[in-house]
Amino acid sequence: MTAAIALSSNVCMAQTSPGEPYVELTSEQETGKWGLSLAVANDEDKAKVWVDLNNNGQKDENETIGMWEWYWYSRPRTAKTLRIYGPVIDIDCGSKDNAIAAINIKNNPNLQKLKCTYSKGLTSLDLSGNANLKKVNVSGCKLNSIALPVQSPAMEELDVNDNELDKLEVSGCSKLVRIDCFKNRLTADAMQKLVESLPDRSQENTAGRLFVLYSIDEKEKNEILKTSVEQAKTKKWDVKYFTGQLDYSGSDHNRYLTSKPKAILTTSKQSGEWLLNIGVPEQEVDSVWIDLNNNNEYDYGEEQNVFNQQVRLPISGEKINIYGKLSKLVCMGNHLTALNVEECTELETLNCSKNELQTLKLNSNKKLKELLGYENELTEIDLSENKELVLLSLNTNKLSAANFDNNNALTTLFISNNELKELNVKPCINLRTIAFENNQLQEVDLSKNALIESIYAQKNKLTKLNLKGLNGLRMLSCEHNALSSIALDENLKQLEAVYCFCNQIKGQEMKSLCNMLPVREDNKKGEFYVVDTTNPTEENLCTKKDVEVANKHNWQVYDYKNKENNGKNLYEGKENPTGLNLPEGREDINVCFIANGLLQINTPQSLQGRDIRVYDINGRILKQDVCKGGLQLLSIQKGDSQGVIFIQVDGKTFKRMH
């Protein structure tokens, strides 16, 4: 029975006996402390164990181990070398405090278990003289060589994972049942020699386990060929990944061909990582590889084993080739300057967003169903061959035109933050959601898009919006336009929210809009964001009577107030239509443009020192100044705004064209 060792204060001084077994440890550091866990075969052997702390070769009074410290021996370190004398059969010296640089156990043939983990100073280990060792764990060190017993009928488990071994053979270890050797530098040839040295367990009840790789999604330098794995199986050894205990079939260079279809990715990044998410049909998972060094041939470690989740791969050059019949490619956020997927004819999902792409050719990707290319620099795109597209997101590019004549399968279209002056989505009869915010559109025809449920149209130049026939509409966002009217369908029942502040809807048109709001159920109020009284561009007029109509239809009417309270500020309406906070002038103030970008303001002396603010149509302040009490000029830079601007002088607002 194995017993743990403890410390005591026994006083006994004696010279070491000839042949007395010992283990010698060497630390990288002369100071610090030793921390050990020791065990002996039985209680009678406890008194025979002592530690030569001062290296004088004799047992001193403070070097014995007593009964009050069973599992952990800890003492200050006064020298780099420490010897543990006696019939120790189990030693764990893996404490980081030990900073182990060398272990000598050849003088203790009784040792059965050795554990020394994560000792980065340990580069070699000689176990050749210890035939009684049953378990060895030296994982996480820096071993580049290990000598095992030539004949070891006892060795059962060997853990050398996370070292720097380039060879490992276990010929003399006939009772081995488990080897952990992942995260080393064992090449295919070295692994083959290891397999050849494995004991034959074909007559045993249980298979041996050989852990050669850490994880399916982590690259490492170990390689074992498929043929070596098959040979190991004939000896009744299972070859596995450590994580998840998954079986590993071995690498097969014949599977990874340059004749496979490829995607070519080019980046402007000089270092860092590729961020990729790849999908392929199940029958193709064993043939996908990524030519990371762009040498046009497969190198071990370039196979792709992880699908449908993000992987990170080191950047070693500006270009990579992804080989395989891809059905999905997510390559967003890689600073791509070019992307070639012409050979990927099976591609159904492509997400190349947040890159630097100026062009994207998709004519050969006829099975494409989802395309996300937002936040790039695309100036044009041809989607005429992508007739199966269902989802398209091209927000935040530089598109001045887009043609959807052949895309009638589209259900979701995002094309906001571009430079569109025209938008024809009549062919897209299956559209459910459309977003074209922040463009330059003066009109849009949605009469053929009867299935639309959500419209995001804010920050354009729309003057009218006819939504007749869209009886499934749930969400309408059309704020910050020049709308004088919005026509809703008479049979509209599902509408939940309308954002239409910062437009020019008033009088009969506002009355009609409020009357067309569908009657909501008692516990499901609609949300009507009709004005933003903090924005000087606001020209909507919603009277108290208009608000009453909306309320009767169970709609809450809100003043957006620059998103204060998330825009949910109850609005009572204007008492008098003429009381609208529209641009209103003063006879003693004159505002006009006298040249391109040069604004002339003439104010009376009485206003000297009062504030002047110039806003664009979105309420963004372009200029701030104070009245001079006379003639003064303000320069509005080209590009600061387009079209209408608003000048506020002493609280009065003037509207001018820039």
Q: What is the CATH number of the domain that holds 610?
A: 2.60.40
pLDDT at 69: 62
Of 515, 545, 578, the last residue of a domain is: 578
Which burial class, exposed, middle or buried, applies to 88 when counting CB atoms under 10 A from its CB (0-12, 13-18, 19+)?
Answer: buried
Better-predicted residue by pLDDT, 184 or 70: 184
Domain residues for the domain of 652 are 590-657
The domain boundary, picked from 533, 550, 578, lies at: 578
Output the pLDDT for position 654.
Answer: 78
Pick from 609, 601, 610, 606: nearest CA to 654: 601
- Indicate the length of the chain as a whole number: 658
Q: Of 251, 278, 298, which residue is a domain's last?
A: 251
Within-domain flag for 274: no
In a domain, 636, yes or no: yes
Residue 579 has pLDDT above 60, yes or no: no
Q: pLDDT at residue 137 above 60?
A: yes
Question: Which band of pLDDT confidence, cut at 50, 70 and 90, is reported for residue 491?
Answer: very high
Whether residues 179 and 204 share a domain: the answer is yes
Which stretches does DSSP call E strand in 188-261? 208-213, 237-241
Specify the pLDDT at position 68.
63
Contact 163, 138 (CB under 8 A): yes
pLDDT at 10: 38
Q: What is the pLDDT of residues 241-259, one digit of tens each?
A: 999 999 999 998 888 888 9
Q: Among 538, 627, 635, 644, which residue's Cα sits nearest to residue 588?
A: 627
pLDDT of 12: 44
pTM score over 0.85: no
Query: Contact at 8 Å (CB) between 298 and 256?
Result: yes
- Report if residue 408 sits inside a domain: no
Q: 149 and 224: one domain?
A: yes
Pairing of strands 311-314, 328-330: unpaired
Rounded mean pLDDT, 176-197 = 97
Q: What is the pLDDT of residues 163-174, one digit of tens each?
A: 999 999 999 899
Q: Mean pLDDT score of the chain, rounded to an integer? A: 91
Report the pLDDT value the prediction gives residue 576, as an integer from 0 to 100. Answer: 52
Within 306-450, strands assigned E span 311-314, 319-323, 328-330, 336-340, 349-351, 370-372, 391-393, 412-414, 433-435
**DSSP secondary structure string, 168-217?**
---TT-TT--EEE--SS---HHHHHHHHHHSPP-TTSSS-EEEEEES-TT
**Same domain membership, residue 493 and residue 570:** yes
Residue position matching structure tokens 């049942």: 177
- Assess whether pLDDT exceeds 70 at residue 638: no
* Helices and strands (H, E) in the chain, number of each type: 4, 45
CB atoms within 10 A of CB 401: 14
190 within domain boundaries:
yes
Same domain, residue pair 475 and 559: yes
- What's the rounded Cα separation, in Å, for the pair 357 and 268? 11
Rounded Cα–Cα distance for residues 575 and 529 (Å): 18
pLDDT in tens, 336-377: 999 999 999 999 999 999 999 999 999 999 999 999 999 999
Same-domain pairing of 572 and 602: no
- What is the tally of structural domains in the chain? 4
Give the per-residue pLDDT at 9: 36
Same domain, 538 and 495: yes
Measure the CA–CA gap between 359 and 378, rounded to whole angstroms. Answer: 6
Share above pLDDT 70 across residues of the chain, in percent, rounded to a whole number: 93
Q: Are residues 597 and 558 in the same domain?
A: no
Per-residue pLDDT at 72: 83
Going by pLDDT thresholds of 50, 70 and 90, the confidence category of residue 643 is low
Q: Between 3 and 136, whose confidence is greater?
A: 136
pLDDT over threshold 60, residue 518? yes
Which pLDDT tens digit goes with each residue over 256-298?
888 999 999 999 999 999 999 999 999 999 899 999 998 999 9
- Please identify which residue in the block is written with the tokens 């259900």: 411
- Please tell me whether residues 160 and 207 are part of one structural domain: yes
Do 33 and 69 have their domain in common?
Answer: yes
User: Does residue 4 carry a pLDDT above 50?
Assistant: no
Q: Which among 139, 101, 135, 117 is positioned nearest to 24, based on CA atoms? A: 101
Q: Does residue 338 lie in a domain region?
A: no
- Residue-wise pLDDT tens digits, 374-431: 999 999 999 999 999 999 999 999 999 999 999 999 999 999 999 999 999 999 999 9
User: What kind and span of H or E run contains 113?
Assistant: strand 113-115
Query: Is residue 218 situated within a structural domain?
Result: yes
Question: What is the separation, in whole angstroms, between the first and last Cα of the chain?
Answer: 95
Residue 598 domain flag: yes
68 in the same domain as 147 = no
Is 478 domain-assigned? yes
Q: Quickly count: other Cβ atoms within 10 Å of residue 509's Cβ.
A: 19
Q: Which carries the bigger pLDDT value, residue 610 or residue 69?
A: 610
- Residues 136, 246 within the same domain: yes
Which CATH number goes with the domain that contains 212?
A: 3.80.10
- Tokens read off for 226: 């498929």
Hey, what are 166's tokens?
A: 């380039």
Q: What is the pLDDT of residue 639?
A: 53
φ, ψ of residue 634 to 5 degrees: the values are -125, 135
Average of per-residue pLDDT across 144-170 = 94
* pLDDT winner (highest mean) among 41-50, 214-223, 556-565: 556-565
493 and 562 fall within a common domain: yes
